[in-house]
Amino acid sequence: MSDTIDFKAFFNHSPNPYMVLDRELRYVTANEAYLRVTASRLEELVGRHVIDAFPHDPQDPHNANARMLQASFERVLARRVADTLALITYRVPRETAEGVVIEERYWSATHTPILDKRGEVAFILQHTVDVTELQRLKQTVSTAPLAQMEAGVLQRARIVQETNTLLDNERRLLRRLFEQAPGFMAFMRGREHVFELTNPAYDQLIGHRDVLGRSMREALPEVEGQGFFDLLDRVFTTGEPVVGRGERLFIQQEPGAPPSEAYVDFVYQPVLEPDGTVSGIFCQGHEVTEQKRAQDELRKHREHLEELVRERTRALRESEAERRQTEVALRQSQKMEAVGKLTGGVAHDFNNLLQVIGGNLQLLQRDITGHERAQKRLETAVSAVERGARLAAQLLAFARRQPLDPVVISLGRLVRGMGDLLRRALGEGIEIETVIAGGLWNTLADPNQLENVILNLAINARDAMDGEGRLTIEAGNASLDDHYALMHQDVVAGQYVMLAISDTGSGMTQEIMERAFEPFFTTKPEGRGTGLGLSMVYGFVKQTGGHIKLYSEVGHGTTIKIYLPRSLQAEVVASEPVTGPIEGGTETILVVEDDPEVRATVVELLTELGYRVLKASDGQSALAVIQSGMPVELLFTDVVMPGPVRSPDLARQAKAILPDLEVLFTSGYTENAIVHGGRLDPGVSLLSKPYRREDLARKLRHMLRNRQQRIASRTALASQVQGGPAPTKTDGLRILLVEDDADIRESACELLEVLGHHVRAVASAEAAQEALGSSGFDVLFTDVSLPGRSGLELAREAVLLYPGLRVIIASGHGASVVSSGGEVTGAVLLPKPYALPDLKGALAQVGVSHRAADGGAGGR
């Protein structure tokens, strides 16, 4: 704004008259000198046509001055070059002592076009010089006598001297204005643009270099390639001015320094000779670097503010959406909590009822042996009990109250392993496509429950496709970021394993999708579905710490995506189920059950298996039995019981009295007594209701044999301590002991060391695999029942990898477990409980000589 004011002052204070016309030859403005010599006021001129407003001789019938001016202006408009009129007559009023008189004056005028960006004449600048005195001198010389001429010459000489003095003063004023102008100015002559004149502002812009007498390309070489030289050449060639606004310039303002950035506004104005040729270029402008940077900062600030406003608006919208989602989630959570409590109570009573029915049906089997029709009816009834048990499990899964037993699994391996099951369940009309991504991560989940989820979703898809279509099962890695977690209230950002099940069925409407996970909601005909399938899936996923997303379109099918948290641990291969004949025992078992019918059924089942059975109806009564001193080997207690003594407290106090006591919990609904975070507490054994007779028998036998083993190992150790020092380990075997029971592991390790062997003890098959790969062993001594992977699988794989390795298999299930699980080449079976002589015999069977002959596992 300050630069504009200075130029206006320059224009107004010039002693020469100036005025500006638009294309219509109407006054735009005029300086003070023009107004003074024409005796005019600016407000009277602006907007008027120049011919109407210019003071001319009204007595001139031909209006010669008006015609000359009009012709000159038309030449400027047509040619877009300057035009000069040597002499213009005009009449102005002048005050004298006698009053106002009309005086005739003379001008010499130059009309210069000012072009717009398109090269068209936007304005015409008139610059005039008063030549009245010279014209009168000329007239006097031509008409006066000699004497008068001499007097006139002297007078005219004085006038010329005064005029020269005036012109010198004007030139000094113009020079001063040129030097002090805040904008830069320079004049370059000729086609090479040789500097002839620069003002201090221009010198400052180019770094105060001496450029006079040098061409612009020579004086400012760093400007090459920035476009300014090309513009100068164009102005010199075409005679048309060029205006630049905010042009970026890189100029070396310090000697030896790299060019610095500057921004300039400029005008390249051609300087024309009388014949219209261009003799040079006048450059004027302003450095606007600071203004440009200020504008850039202002623009950035404005953009930043606009982004903040957008972000704030977006945050407010997201906050509102989050609030609505939170309200929905809260209502859903409250509904789930209420239904969950109801479900837990129903499941507890329902499972107790199923236990009574199932237990009595199993007891009835011995009474109808050989009766084929009765046997078939009995099997039908048992199948109904199993269906009821699955229904109760679905209720607990929906309410997120089922006791999960999560292990590290490979989702790809689990899906591939279900191929035959899915084909049988879906039928021949459904095409199954499985897509497993490479490098699939592991996840932590209950494999049995996850199989149920996949089967449920597959059956739902089959029904949606009416038995014909394509089912696609995909497994891949996925990452849910913070933004996704913000938009989904129940999601924690992180890495997940994604399971997607897609069908080509009928799809769902938006209304159905909103209710799809609600319990007991179904679109199937009455009697075709319980409405618990998807709600069970939802409950399992949430209890596992995952996320589920439903996508569906009517007529195009449905996709359900399940995200399960990634696990960085190694996969745990599922152990093979124990089969073969069941065994009973003669130990004493204390049964604690508040339901009299369930209690009676369990007592009869245990009695039939040969056990001595004591019974109690609540925790307080059971604790009294324990405190009485009666020998009890195993406590079999329901989780949910009345009275002041809760089942976990009963177990803790009972083991304090009887350290070797085994504790087995059972329940149709565990509440939070032994299940926390949806998972069984560490070290807890649970047999969920309703259970089968063979499951109960195998669980009891395994636990009681482990108990016997602990006692036998302590006894053997005590006798060895009394018998003298242990033998040297110099020639002993290198043994890898694998046992998940800490007490048995510790005592077996001591027994083997007492026998003079080198022992390394681990608690799982995975730890054993790692140990086998890093050290050489002669003998693998493993229990059958390990967490996750079976000891039989470990032994079979180890023998294949390390042929020199000998194997001893300890089992609390008896000899049948080995034959049912598959043979292990060269393995020696050691049933629990084993004593020191049994252990010596097993080691003798594998043979000490094998170490020298085969080199052990270290030979691999």
Q: Who wins on pLDDT, 823 or 498?
A: 498
**Which of 384, 382, 401, 385 is closest to 393 using CA atoms?**
401
Q: What is the DSSP letter of 858?
A: G
Question: Phi/psi class of residue 307: alpha, beta or left (left: φ > 0; alpha: ψ in -120 to 50)?
Answer: alpha
- Which pLDDT tens digit goes with each residue over 132-178? 877 777 776 666 565 565 665 566 667 767 766 776 776 677 677 77
- The encoded tokens of residue 505 equal 């069925």
Element (H, E) at 381: helix 372-398
Calculated CA dihedral for residues 841, 846, 849, 850, nearest 10 degrees: -170
Q: Are 403 and 675 in contact (CB under 8 A)?
A: yes
Of 259 and 89, the structure prediction assigns the larger pLDDT to 259
**CATH number of the domain located at residue range(s) 719-859 in this protein:** 3.40.50.2300
Provide the β-strand partners of residue 85. Answer: 109
pLDDT of residue 853: 38
Question: What pLDDT sits at residue 745?
Answer: 83
| Lowest-pLDDT range of 206-215, 608-617, 634-643, 678-687 | 678-687
- Output the CA–CA distances (angstroms, integers) from residue 779 to 344, 383, 750, 808, 853, in the order listed: 49, 45, 16, 7, 13
pLDDT band at 814 (very low <50, low <70, confident <90, very high): low
- Give the DSSP H/E element, type plus range, for residue 94: strand 83-96
pLDDT of residue 635: 94
Contact by Cβ (8 Å): 193, 281: yes
Residue 673 in 3-state DSSP?
coil
DSSP 857: G
Q: What is the DSSP letter of 650?
A: H
Distance from C-alpha of 687 to C-alpha of 665, rounded to nearest angstrom:
6
- Residue pLDDT, tens place only, 576-622: 555 567 788 899 999 998 888 888 888 988 998 899 999 999 999 99
DSSP secondary structure letter of residue 260: E
pLDDT at 405: 65
| CA-to-CA separations, 198 to 173, 191, 234, 282, 645, in angstroms, rounded | 16, 18, 21, 10, 106
Decide if pLDDT at 692 tops 80: yes
Minimal CA–CA distance to 784: which of 723, 709, 847? 709
Q: Is 38 helix (H, G, I), strand (E, B) or coil?
A: coil
Q: Is 824 within 8 Å of 843 (Cβ atoms)?
A: no
DSSP 404: B
pLDDT of residue 663: 92
Alpha-carbon torsion 40, 42, 43, 45, what sign? positive
CB 43 within 8 A of CB 28: no
Provide the β-strand partners of residue 501: 473, 560
* CA–CA separation, 200 and 182 (whole Å): 9
Number of H helices, E strands in the chain: 28, 29
Contact in structure between 99 and 150 (CB atoms under 8 Å): no
Q: How far is Cα 632 from Cα 618, in angstroms, rounded to an integer? A: 17
d(CA 855, CA 316): 72
Question: Which residues are CB-contacts of 758 (< 8 A; sequence separation ≥ 6)?
Answer: 729, 732, 733, 734, 735
- The CATH number, out of the four listed (3.90.1150.10, 3.50.50.60, 3.90.1200.10, 3.40.50.2300), of the domain defined by the range 588-706: 3.40.50.2300
pLDDT at 50 over 80: yes
- Measured over the CA atoms of residue 360, residue 362, residue 368 and residue 373, the dihedral's sign is positive
Structure letter (DSSP) for residue 278:
E
Q: What is the pLDDT of residues 104-130, one digit of tens each?
A: 888 888 888 988 888 889 999 888 887
Query: Superfamily for 184-287?
Result: PAS domain (3.30.450.20)
Q: Is the pLDDT of residue 285 over 60?
A: yes
**Cα(217)–Cα(206) distance, rounded to whole angstroms?**
13
Instruction: Render pLDDT for 384-424 as a digit per residue (tens, 0 to 9).
Output: 766 666 666 655 655 555 656 677 888 888 888 888 878 88
CA distances from 80 to 73, 276, 284, 437 (A): 10, 10, 20, 75
Per-residue DSSP letter, 25: S
Residue range 645-689, pLDDT digits in tens: 888 889 889 989 998 899 998 877 655 455 554 455 666 788 887
Q: Could you give the percent of the chain with pLDDT greater than 90?
A: 10
Angle, helices 742-754/836-846, rounded to nearest 10 degrees: 70
DSSP letter at 661 equals -
pLDDT at 496: 93
289 neighbors 310 (Cβ within 8 angstroms): no
**Residues whose CB is less than 8 angstroms from the CB of residue 145 and which lie 6 or more positions away in sequence, other chains included:** none
More confident residue, 174 or 301: 301
Q: Which amino acid is at 148?
A: Q
Q: How far apart are CA 635 and CA 615, in angstroms?
A: 10
- Cβ neighbour number for residue 383 with a 10 Å cutoff: 10
* Domain spans of the chain, in order of start: 2-130, 184-287, 404-567, 588-706, 719-859
Task: State the Cα–Cα distance between residues 853 and 65, nearest whole angstrom.
Answer: 134
Amino acid identity for residue 336 in this structure: M
**Rounded Cα gap, residues 31 and 49, in angstroms:** 17
Distance CA 305, CA 409 (A): 50
At residue 821 the predicted structure's pLDDT band, cuts being 50, 70 and 90, is very low
**pLDDT at 710 exceeding the cut of 70:** yes
Angstrom distance (rounded) from CA 267 to CA 249: 15
Reference 76, options 46, 30, 43, 109; nearest CA is: 109
* Residue 297, C-beta contacts closer than 8 angstroms, at least 6 positions apart: none
Domains 2-130 and 184-287 share a fold: yes
Higher pLDDT, 221 or 671: 221
Q: Is 777 left (phi over 0), alpha (psi -120 to 50) or beta?
A: beta
- Range with lowest mean pLDDT among 325-334, 443-452, 461-470, 771-780: 325-334
Q: What is the pLDDT of residue 395?
A: 59
What is the pLDDT confidence band of residue 785, given thresholds at 50, 70 and 90? confident
CATH fold of 404-567 reads Heat Shock Protein 90 (3.30.565)
**DSSP helix/strand/coil, 48:** coil
The DSSP code for 198 is E
Integer Cα distance of 102 and 92 in angstroms = 6
* Cβ contact 456:537 at 8 Å: yes
In 3D space, the residue among 650, 582, 659 whose CA is nearest the CA of residue 619 turns out to be 650
Q: Do 471 and 500 meet the contact criterion of CB atoms below 8 Å apart?
A: no
**Percentage helix, strand, coil for the chain under 3-state DSSP, each rounded to 5:** 45, 25, 30
Q: How many CB atoms lie within 10 A of CB 762?
A: 20
The residue written with tokens 């040129």 in the block is 178
CA dist list (Å): 795 to 489, 774, 798 = 47, 17, 5
**For the chain, what's the residue count?**
860
List of residues 6+ apart from 722 with CB closer than 8 A: none
State the pLDDT confidence band at 3, using cuts at 50, 70 and 90: very low
Beta bridge partners of 7: none
Q: Characterize the bridge pairing of strands 494-503 and 469-480.
A: antiparallel
pLDDT averaged over the chain?
Answer: 79
Considering 204-213, 811-820, 846-855, the range whose residues carry the highest mean pLDDT is 204-213
Higher per-residue confidence, 365 vs 820? 365
Note the pLDDT of residue 1: 39
For the stretch 19-36, pLDDT in tens is 899 999 999 999 888 888
Residue 313, amino acid: T
Q: Name the residue with tokens 């004591």.
A: 614
Q: Is residue 101 exposed (0-12), middle (13-18) or buried (19+ Cβ within 10 Å)?
A: exposed
* CATH (residue range 2-130): 3.30.450.20
Q: How far is CA 437 from CA 451, 497, 503, 578, 826, in A?
A: 19, 10, 19, 33, 39
